[in-house]
Structure 1
Amino acid sequence: MALIDDMSIDGNGLELPPKSRPITPSHILFHLSTELLSRGFDLHADPRWRFLCELNQSRKPARVSFSQAEVLIQNALDATNDPNLGLAVGLRQSFGSLGLLSSALLSSPTLRSALAVGMKYHRLSGSLIELDQSCAENGDIHLSINVRHVGTTISRFVMQEFCGGFSRVSHYLHRGKSPFRHVSMIFQMMDKTPLEEAFACPVETGVARNEIVMSAEALDYSLETADAYALSEVIDVLEALTHAAKAERGFLEQTEQTLVKSIKTPPQVDALARQLGTSERTLRRRLNEAGTSYSELLEKLRLDHAIQLLHNRKLSVKQISSHVGFTDPRSLRRLMMDHVGMSASELRRRVDV
């Protein structure tokens, strides 16, 4: 189990969650739950899937910390014993899974311009991938891909999920034909067939880099769905969403940082509002607009912090429970069972393995 980067230390010498708490896009977990259901897993009966079951039924976006998602995805990897589960989840997604970004890609004049739009706005879809590109002399694009959370145990899953989704979107835009020349991946695959079928090009695994090479001919292919007017309108909306997302992140990060400082004895919502220099009503409204609430935010912070503290063998589960603000360790157990499907003691034993 990997630790989140940029941990800080509180006055008691204990690690605190990072200032910018990573968030995992809930649509990945939604499609993961759908994949598990298709494989015959009973999401209702097993406590490990309780959160995924609720997400699948509600079909509403949810704020999920990377720590929580890491545990849930690792649970799925252990249960299925499928090293290529991430690829299956990525391939399960349709072109429309990108939401509004799908319209921008369809409206772009060429695949090359669609790629540029996708790289600029892919964070709006909650991407867990860092993208960079270089253009070869022949016009080919070399796309460099890296997982944002270095050292995580689910990096293979995250990379495969991206590959599955990216290959489907690219084939869709290129009228079912492959725009790829070659794919290189760091993770090793004994059988490369599933990845080769996804990209329809030669694939190399177990190498020193993650790279996708797209051909100049395909990139300069004119899209039949191109519409300059529609693209301009969609870009305006994407720009507005980008600015709104930055403002929301800033507000949530400030709120989370304030709560984290006193997570052992968290302030009531009215006191928190005063610390943030706003009114209780405004704080509740802004949290609601961000898709959360005071109680949900506090619960997620407690969960995230507890998962991190489980790596510290010097602390007992009872001490961890107290440090995240619970007077009764059973409260921490309920929180862990509700969100990751196992108790703190069970998760600690798996971390040690």
Structure 2
Amino acid sequence: MILHAHQGTTSSALTRLSVNAARRLGIPRDGYAHLLGVAPEHLNDDLCRTPAATSIRIAELTTVHASWTELALVLAEQSAIGALGVWDYLITSAPTPLEGIRDASAYFATVADTATDNLRIVEDGELVTISHVNEADLTYEAACAIRAYALGLYQRRLSEAAQRRLVPLRVTLAAEAPRRHEPLTRLYGTRAIEFEAPVSSITFLASDLSAPTPHAQPGLSTVLRRHAEQTLAGAIPLHNWLDLFRTALASVHDEATTATLPAVARRMAVSTRTLQRRLDEHGTTWSNEVEAVRRAHITRLLHDTDLGIDAIAARSGYADARALRRAVQRWYGTTPARLRRDGRSL
């Protein structure tokens, strides 16, 4: 289930890297600012999952003006530890770098679109080969950049885990040899790079990856794996306009007791009439969407807090506890007290 979570989307952190790389390489923002998920409220929200098509389009725009080798290097240089959230620490906090990259493979969905991208590990005696397979529908140059960057990212994280620069024995790239190799030799720290390979991969000595990670803390990997699962469970995928509306509504609801139509319209930079029309086009209404947010909010308060019914009613925009009880009865066919007990027994 983890491997297939939120297919068609990537983490907002990965999209931020793409946007920052495009900016650094001088790509005009007006070429991608309109794309779904690039608005600041989504790009800077780690719960949001951006459409994979957004990152692909930014990479394609970037490689029109810069070489794929330059883009791969810039992306890697920006990828400081923590830039990709919990996925980074799965690698650097495991008992060995090899165990870390295995966890990173198992939870690859926390950063990438597993419908098109895969991290594969092959252990063969004294060697460990890590491959990045990208099958997305994108231009040749953008595909080369993404694969080359991914290998550089794996090398960087494994080196951070080992707390020393790990030099690969061999790098293979599913790309034609570029005119300039210098960005790639900087990226990998070696000239042992083969081009026109069937799969992009990076190979290390098994002894380099199986040595204990310095300062590894017992039990930390278990905590991080649990956090990765929670990250996926709580993620908000942005596939279309309705997803954007719902994130805006939830955001306004979190800031006030009752979300209003004008407030959400302002957040989305549209008129109230346009907002209502778009909701109708998507087969829903303002009142239905507000009730869904209220229902989720109230259910969460009942399950996760000890607040009384009166306090929950006040926080949820209901006139009194009786109105809240009627709403819970309508939604679930039970009482708030029973819903609370049932939720805590799960």
TM-score by length of 1: 0.59
Q: Which residue of 2 aligns with 1:142?
A: 129
CA distance in 1, matches of 2:32, 2:239: 27
Q: Which amino acid aligns with 2:44?
A: R
Q: Which residue of 1 aligns with 2:183?
A: 194
Q: Which of residues 76, 79, 94 is equivalent to 1:108? A: 94
Aligned residues: 250
SS state at 1:212 partner: strand
SS state at 1:225 partner: coil
Q: CA deviation at 1:168?
A: 1.6
Q: Which residue of 1 aligns with 2:33?
A: 50
Q: Which residue of 2 aligns with 1:280?
A: 289
Q: Which residue of 1 aligns with 2:220?
A: 230
Q: Which residue of 1 aligns with 2:161?
A: 173
Q: CA deviation at 1:54?
A: 5.1
In percent, how many aligned pairs have the same letter? Answer: 12
With over 3 angstroms needed to count, the CA separation of the structure-2 counterparts of 1:152 and 1:24, relative to structure 1, is farther
Is this contact kept in 2: 1:93–1:165, CA < 8 A? Answer: yes
With over 3 angstroms needed to count, the CA separation of the structure-2 counterparts of 1:102 and 1:81, relative to structure 1, is closer
With over 3 angstroms needed to count, the CA separation of the structure-2 counterparts of 1:226 and 1:179, relative to structure 1, is farther
* Pairing 1:51-66 to 2, within 5 Å after superposition: 51=34, 55=40, 59-61=44-46, 62-66=48-52
With over 3 angstroms needed to count, the CA separation of the structure-2 counterparts of 1:287 and 1:90, relative to structure 1, is farther
Unaligned runs of 5+ residues in structure 2 are 1-5, 244-276, 298-346
Q: Which of residues 166, 182, 201 is equivalent to 1:211? A: 201
Q: CA deviation at 1:282?
A: 5.0
Q: Which residue of 2 aligns with 1:300?
A: none
SS state at 1:211 partner: strand
Q: CA deviation at 1:231?
A: 2.3
Q: Which amino acid aligns with 2:124?
A: A
CA distance in 2, matches of 1:58, 1:243: 19
1:280-311 per-residue CA deviation (whole Å, 9 max, x = no partner) reads 335456999xxxxxxxxxxxxxxxxxxxxxxx
Is this contact kept in 2: 1:25–1:63, CA < 8 A? Answer: yes
With over 3 angstroms needed to count, the CA separation of the structure-2 counterparts of 1:284 and 1:112, relative to structure 1, is same
Is this contact kept in 1: 2:81–2:88, CA < 8 A? Answer: yes
SS state at 1:142 partner: strand
With over 3 angstroms needed to count, the CA separation of the structure-2 counterparts of 1:84 and 1:226, relative to structure 1, is same
CA distance in 2, matches of 1:60, 1:269: 27
TM-score by length of 2: 0.60
- For CA contacts below 8 A with separation 6 or more, give which structure has more relative contact order: 1
With over 3 angstroms needed to count, the CA separation of the structure-2 counterparts of 1:57 and 1:63, relative to structure 1, is closer
With over 3 angstroms needed to count, the CA separation of the structure-2 counterparts of 1:68 and 1:108, relative to structure 1, is closer
Q: Which amino acid aligns with 2:128?
A: I
Q: CA deviation at 1:108?
A: 1.0
